[in-house]
Amino acid sequence: MTKALVVYVTTSSRKEADKIAQALVDEKLAACVTIVPEVFSRYRWKEHVENSEELLLIVKTFSRQYKKLEQRIQALHSYSVPEILAVPVVSGNASYLAWMKNSLK
């Protein structure tokens, strides 16, 4: 298993997605952030079922950056409870993982 993580974050708008993605890359908290437009979420919030059109950020980082990355997302995010879910990368392209590591030095 690697120390790489893929972190999923949903946002309410393109402007918010761009702001978060730019900050994470600029501050070397993420090697890459992919913005997936137009995802549809259905969830329970305050005893009601909600439906939202959102954007999905797929953030590539390492476990050593995670705590600061989470704090930065929370500071920039408009949601009171933003989705921030980290998934460990079990295996990956060695060249890509090396590029990630180099990008976050």
Q: Are strands 32-45 and 4-11 parallel, antiparallel or unpaired?
A: unpaired
Domain extent at residue 60: 4-103
> Contact 37/57 with Cβ under 8 angstroms?
no
Q: What CATH number is associated with residue 21?
A: 3.30.70.120
- Length of the chain, please? 105
pLDDT surpasses 80 at 1: no
Kindly report whether the global pTM for this prediction surpasses the value 0.85: yes
Average pLDDT, integer, range 82-94? 97
Type of residue at 39: V
Nearest CA to 66 among 8, 26, 1, 18? 8
pLDDT at 2: 85
Burial letters 33-48, b for 16+ CB under 10 A, else e: beeeeeeeeeeeeeee
Number of domains in the chain: 1
The pLDDT tens digits for 35-54 are 999 999 999 999 999 999 99
